[in-house]
């Protein structure tokens, strides 16, 4: 049985290549390979379905800088897809927790900087009131949560490309775990959106 009634869920979202990588071998920050797929209807609908029930965004510093440097500029942009603008507005307005050992203060509104272990931060967030805690594409955060078996919902968009190397999301040695498929959708360019709940 999936654990839903016990308070807030930790929901992680990541884009993966077909060979299980979240970045290519040459530049971990180059997400150009994602772009043709990220703007498909299935990818946009997938993300919308995740943020609508979330009241906290949990990010690593690098992803926070990328997301919060880009998404606010989408608001009011001419011709913007309403799903993209909806996500951008949510990201600006939502409570954000950024895990960082190098930032002293947040350059973004409604943001708390925390220099503690991912597991401790999530335990505290789950004890507080609110909706889902959404981890947005921050690989280091997601990997730590998977290693500590703290993920309640695992959301993936899988794109039909081999990157041929680069960092993988699922490391050897993860705790054995069973997952239940709660939604699946296939779309343009062979994009696949999958959502799994942790069976506890």
Q: What is the 3-state secondary structure (H, E, C) of the chain?
A: CECCCCCCCEEEEEEEECCCECCCCCCCCCCHHHHHHHCCHHHHHHHHHHHCCEEEEEEEHHHHHHHHHHHHHHCCCCCCCHHHHHHHHHHHHCEEEEECCCCCCCCCCCEEEECCCHHHHHHHHHHCCCCEEEEECCHHHHHHHHHCCCCCEEEEEEECCCCCCCCECCCCCCCCCEEEEEEEEECHHHCEEEEEEEEC
Domain count across the chain:
1
Residue 32 lies in a domain: yes
Q: Which residue range forms the structural domain that includes residue 42?
A: 10-162
- CATH classification at residue 108: 3.40.430.10
Question: Is residue 75 one of the residues assigned to a domain?
Answer: yes
Q: Does residue 182 lie in a domain region?
A: no
- Tens digit of pLDDT at every position of the chain (200 positions): 344 445 899 999 999 999 999 999 887 777 788 888 888 999 999 999 999 999 999 999 998 998 999 999 999 999 999 999 999 999 999 999 999 999 988 889 999 999 999 999 999 999 999 999 999 999 999 999 999 999 999 999 999 999 999 999 999 999 999 999 999 999 999 999 999 999 99
77 located within any domain: yes
């Amino acid at each position: 049985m999936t654990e839903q009634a016990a308070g807030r869920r930790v929901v992680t979202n990541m884009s993966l290549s077909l060979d299980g990588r979240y970045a290519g071998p040459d530049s971990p920050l180059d997400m150009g390979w994602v772009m043709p797929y990220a703007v498909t209807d299935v990818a946009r609908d997938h993300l919308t379905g995740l943020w609508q029930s979330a009241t906290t965004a949990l990010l690593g510093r690098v992803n926070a800088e990328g997301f919060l440097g880009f998404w606010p500029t989408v608001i009011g942009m001419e011709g913007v897809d309403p799903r993209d603008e909806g996500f951008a507005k949510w990201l600006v307005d939502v409570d954000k927790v950024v895990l960082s050992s190098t930032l002293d203060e947040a350059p973004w509104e409604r943001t708390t900087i925390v220099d503690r272990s991912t597991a401790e931060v999530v335990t505290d967030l789950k004890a507080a009131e609110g909706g889902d805690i959404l981890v947005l594409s921050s690989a280091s955060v997601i990997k730590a949560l998977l290693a500590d078996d703290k993920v309640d919902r695992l959301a993936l968009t899988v794109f039909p490309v081999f990157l041929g190397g680069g960092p993988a999301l699922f490391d050897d040695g993860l705790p054995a775990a069973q997952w239940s498929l709660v939604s699946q959708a296939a779309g343009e360019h062979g994009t696949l959106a999958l959502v799994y709940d942790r069976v506890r």
